[in-house]
Amino acid sequence: MGSSWGHQPARPTCLAAPARPGAGALNTLSDTSGPTVRPFPELPAGFRFGAATAAYQIEGAHDEDGRGPSIWDTFSHTPGRTLGGATGDTACDHYHRSREDIGLLRGLGVDGYRFSIAWPRLLPQGTGPVNAKGLDFYDRLIDELLAAGVAPAVTLYHWDLPQALEDRGGWRVRETAEAFAQYAALAAERYGDRVERWITLNEPYCSAFVGYAEGRHAPGAEEGRGALAAAHHLLVGHGLAVRALRAAGAREIGVTLNLDRIHAASDLPEDRAALRRAEVLHNEVWTEPLLAGRYPAHEDQTWAGLAAGPWRLPGDLELIDAPLDFLGVNFYRPVTVAAAPHRAADPEVRTAVDIGVTELDPYGTRHTTMGWPVVPEALTELLCGLHARYPHLPPVWITENGSAEADTVGPDGRVHDTERIDYLTDHLAAVATAVAAGVDVRGYYAWSLLDNFEWARGYDQRFGLVHVDYDTLTRTPKDSYHWYRGLITAHRARTEETTP
């Protein structure tokens, strides 16, 4: 299998598979409820550990205290869109249980917590009148996090676009990017004195292509041209938001991308060409404008259309390419592709996302309940590929990484999620290998603090360090919660011993 991303002969150490952890600090949890497992991966002094969530996936209270509807409210209430008709109406009820959840973060000992603000909770119509009760909720959340010794990291957009803006065109139109900047300014002016890290967008690939072309996510559209316009306007919205955040004196500003380590199924020319198309769609449509100030060069007319479409205005790329303080990377699994016939009947959809590839699964490893192969060395390769490709790559934060497992509360009242512990151990070891090879990775947010609403999959996938009973909303820390606490404790003890 071949790949251009990650194949960097000048940096051979980056290509080495991450060593299985064997020289780290041993798990010495004093709490005997925690599992005794393999040694912890070692990461440098100053490396930060956290946990992450997103508003629509955990908050609930979808129509309380002035919150307006989002595209995910509309989408999930449309029959057939989510598994079992699940919605985020209640989710984990974090809106009413935030103090309990902050207590879990305090007990976990994390340095930081990445959460998202629900845009329609602050601005029910997307623009215009501000919802004071929404502002107050996040005020309390941030203050209580700080009191617990947990640094807030705020994602401004984690897919819950106000429905009122979608009704006016959504991300297909530039007005949404401008509204996003106004929302960013409001949030920064209100919370900027207390928020350590700002993330403009979470996974714009999913917003643009899964939402506007594939139709599997909100708003459920299947449009080629609309998806390309959405991709550009998301990037413009990011650039405008960075400008607004800087003007408000925000501290660290970045963006989070879900980047894939992609392999070709073979060295046949058609599979190598399929690889290039997949790398452009999944990675370079985002990294090239954000990190290099250009759209990817590719002979395919789709990407020429993205770069030269009527939605692009003079100065857009300079706006999008505004300097970042960090790049957030979400990673779960690698992808292998081969050439395949186009499937979509609509030529516009065909050019946007049906790019003539099929995904294969040659890995022969364990899979999570999402059906994703567990290949931690792919994370090392991805990080090293970024490092080699972009000379001015900002510091990297792993903003999501975790596994969905078949978790149940056992007769002993515990959740024994050994598979998740192995997954996290190996992926943190992969990060450590990339750091040793020269990649500036500053921290890691485990996905997720809580089991939660997994978008179109409803509630059948559990990613949390904490189990949530969706009938009673009871929280039960899993073995992985205790393991992660032990890792953080051991990391601090080791680095304090070695720091002069």
β-bridge pairing 252-258 and 326-330: parallel
Cα-Cα-Cα-Cα torsion 36, 39, 40, 42, nearest 10 degrees, comes to: 160
- Which of 59, 214, 279, 400 is flagged as catalytic? 400
Enumerate residues 6+ apart whose C-beta is below 8 A from 378.
261, 331, 333, 334, 430
Rounded CA separation 254/246 (Å): 11
Number of residues that this document lists for the chain: 500
Structure tokens at 435: 């750091």
DSSP codes of every residue in 138-185: HHHHHHHHHHTT-EEEEEEESS--BHHHHTTTGGGSHHHHHHHHHHHH
Report whether 481 contacts 108 (CB < 8 A): yes
b/e per residue, 325-354, with b = 16+ CB within 10 A?
Answer: ebbbbbbbbbbbbbbbeeebeeebbbbbbb
Q: Give the 3-state secondary structure of residue 93.
A: coil
Q: Under a CB-based contact definition with an 8 Å cutoff, are residues 417 and 407 in contact?
A: yes
Which helix (DSSP H) or strand (DSSP E) does residue 445 occupy? strand 441-447
Tokens representing 393 are 């790559």
Classify burial at 78, counting beta carbons within 10 Å of its beta carbon; exposed 0-12, middle 13-18, buried 19 or more: middle
Query: Chain centroid to CA 83: how far?
Result: 21
Q: Residue 112's beta-bridge partner residues?
A: 50, 151
Nearest CA-CA partner of 117 in 163, 67, 76: 67
Residue 224 CA to residue 409 CA, distance in Å, equals: 44
Sequence-ordered list of residues with C-beta below 8 angstroms from that of 344, at least 6 positions apart, any chain:
350, 353, 354
Active site includes 100? no
Task: State how far the Cα of 460 lies from the Cα of 35, in Å rounded to an integer.
Answer: 25
Q: How far apart are CA 490 and CA 499, in angstroms?
A: 14
**400 counts as catalytic:** yes
Structure tokens at 491: 């990391």
Distance in angstroms (rounded) separating the CA atoms of residues 432 and 497: 19
Q: Which is catalytic among the residues 203, 279, 284, 419? A: 203
Torsion, CA 308, CA 310, CA 311, CA 316, rounded to 10:
50
Asked if residue 452 lies in contact with residue 465, where contact means CB atoms within 8 angstroms, the answer is no
Residues recognised as catalytic = 203, 400
